[in-house]
């Protein structure tokens, strides 16, 4: 995702617009992958029948990760990218 943001920042005149375009380009694949994995293991995480005790804890962990992972990828990574590009802009201005 960071490479998409870098590419979009290079194509636009504004860092904020480039970060927005890069994050939007990567949003659909991230959400689809996490939704597929999370929804696929949801029955295993919620089932209560006989024989589910070994798989239930790991299925719950994966479903929880698939809920929090897109939030981290789609919100924290663009935030970190903006800090990175602002710091780079300040360092370029000093030299």
pLDDT in tens, 50-93: 888 888 888 899 999 998 988 888 889 888 988 988 888 888 87
Q: What is the pLDDT of residue 33?
A: 92
| pLDDT-derived band at 95, boundaries 50, 70, 90 | low
pLDDT digits (tens, 9 = 90+) for 27-50: 889 899 999 998 998 888 888 888
Q: How many CB atoms lie within 10 A of CB 23?
A: 21
Q: How many CB atoms lie within 10 A of CB 37?
A: 15
Q: What is the pLDDT of residue 1?
A: 72
34 neighbors 66 (Cβ within 8 angstroms): yes
- Enter the tokens of residue 13: 């005149």
0.85 exceeded by the pTM? Answer: no
């Amino acid at each position: 995702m960071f490479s998409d943001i870098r590419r979009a920042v290079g194509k636009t005149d504004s860092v904020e617009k480039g970060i927005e375009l890069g994050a939007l380009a990567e949003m659909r694949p991230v959400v689809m992958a996490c939704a597929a994995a999370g929804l696929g293991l949801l029955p295993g995480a919620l089932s209560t029948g006989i024989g589910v005790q070994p798989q239930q804890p790991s299925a719950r962990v994966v479903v929880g990760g698939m809920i929090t992972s897109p939030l981290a990828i789609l919100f924290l990574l663009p935030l970190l990218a903006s800090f990175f590009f602002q710091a780079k802009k300040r360092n370029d201005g000093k030299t």
